[in-house]
Structure 1
């Protein structure tokens, strides 16, 4: 199990956890944003990563 570098939740990471037969779940997400540095270079859990991607890719509010 891995620990999210943002919220501390435990989650499975096929890139870090030994014996994974499938690619990591994160490879299915769009590679559109860089993550801020996390302590120890830790990955983020699915919830944190999806929220971060959504926040970074949301359309900017229209200027009035």
Structure 2
């Protein structure tokens, strides 16, 4: 299990917690719009589904699409 670096919740990350004996599966986060780079610094970790989804919503609210 992974720990969210934003809120401390535990969650499953297919990129970190994958079973090496199982076929590779994409992580749940790959199905969401890209909004953050995947953490690469030593000791860095991803955000849980709730935090990442909230970040995406907040980002959309801060940068609304222009009316067309």
- TM-score category, normalised to shorter length: 0.7 to 0.9
Q: Which runs of 5+ in 1 are unaligned?
A: none
Under a length normalisation based on structure 2, what TM-score does the superposition of the two structures give?
Answer: 0.71
Residues of 2 paired with 1:42 and 1:4: CA distance?
A: 7
Root mean square deviation, CA, Å = 2.4
In the TM superposition, structure 1's runs of 4+ consecutive aligned residues that sit over 2 Å from their partners are none
Under a length normalisation based on structure 1, what TM-score does the superposition of the two structures give?
Answer: 0.75
- Give the length in aligned residue pairs: 58
Q: Which runs of 5+ in 2 are unaligned?
A: none
